[in-house]
Amino acid sequence: MKSPIFNFCLSICIVALFCCSCKDNTKGKQKSELAQQSKKSLSSADSVLFHFWDKFAMQDTALVKSPEKGEQQLADFLQLLAQTPDSATRDKAVDLMLDKAQINRISFDYFIKQYEHYLYDGNSPMRNDIVYESVLRYLIKTDLLSNLEKEAYRPTYKLVLRNKEGQTAEDFTYELTYGKKQKLSDIKSRYTFLIFYDPDCSHCKETIQQLRDTPQLVQLFAQLKVQVVAIDPWGDRTKWKNYQWQLAEQWINGFDSESKILSFNIYDLKASPTIYLLDENKKVLLKDTYLQQVITYFVKTNP
């Protein structure tokens, strides 16, 4: 009998990857051979990253700025970086690429802008703080940039380091609809689906409606004991109160009455909505994610 989550996955056409396990009956020698093969595979993947730009002519400005050449090359590179779990490997790959780009300052500046566009723009489907962190680390240490130029990147670098996956989500206080105040850390649930929304944001409205009105989603969240926490951080009480009918009754509907989330950059709200998935201890499982990615995570971890 298939699990409810599996059936749910099929009903909304979300493709999920399942990890299979089997009994290990291999001998010590076979285990060693498998380990060596795995090591070789990882080394091969690293080698592809480290030599990805070897044959690319950074001095050719037209090539660099061509959407079919330079931009596509960067997009392919970013996909590989996003699949690389080791931060040291990502850092080295980015360092090698940007060191090579320094041969032409126009090329260097172009790629820096493209990195920001793909990895940090709130509207980019490829935005990825983990990969952008490697880029920012390079920018604040390279000798090519002046101290003033480096300082311009430090605030963003500090932001991407906050609330990373695996860290405890930073706590904050919010006001409830009946006036009481409580903290994020007060919530007791297996998972916390934290969504920062803007009442004027059409994409926020679409996400909220899908989360509220899709029966399979409602059932899934109830089954997994997921508490939805919807926070309006923008400080307009009237808009917040007028928006309450859009939210489900069982959700926590919070308002940052003192605007501390934005004022102190407690969370990086470059996109609306901004979604985090937290575990029962408020550790970040998914940062700045999408609803479908949350569902895929549930399918993979709760078969």
How confident is residue 13, by pLDDT bands cut at 50, 70 and 90? Answer: very low
pLDDT per position as a tens digit, 171-196: 999 999 888 999 999 999 999 999 99
Position 280, amino acid: E
pLDDT per position as a tens digit, 26-53: 445 554 554 454 444 456 878 999 999 9
- Cα separation of 81 and 50, whole Å? 11
Q: Are 7 and 301 spatial neighbours (Cβ–Cβ below 8 Å)?
A: no
Position 260, amino acid: K
Q: Please tell me whether residue 104 adopts helix, strand or coil conformation.
A: coil
DSSP β-bridge partners for residue 191: 226
Place of tokens 């989550």: 5
pLDDT per position as a tens digit, 134-145: 999 999 999 999
**DSSP symbol at 168:** B
Domain ranges of the chain: 43-160, 173-301
Place of tokens 């006036």: 179
3-state SS, 244-289, equals HHHCCCCCEEEECCCCHHHHCCCCCCCCCCEEEEECCCCEEEEEEE
Assigned token pair, 67? 């959407």
Position 117, amino acid: H
- Cα separation of 291 and 298, whole Å? 11
How much is the mean pLDDT over the chain? 88
Predicted TM-score (pTM) of the model is: 0.81
Assigned token pair, 205? 């409205």
Indicate if the alpha-carbon torsion angle 143, 129, 20, 168 is positive or negative: positive
β-strands 181-183, 173-175 pairing = antiparallel
- pLDDT value of residue 302: 85
Q: Which residues of 15-25 are buried (b: 16+ CB within 10 A; e: fewer)?
A: eeeeeeeeeee
The topology (CATH level 3) of 173-301 is Glutaredoxin (3.40.30)
Sequence-ordered alpha helix ranges (H) in 12-128: 28-50, 61-65, 72-82, 87-101, 105-119
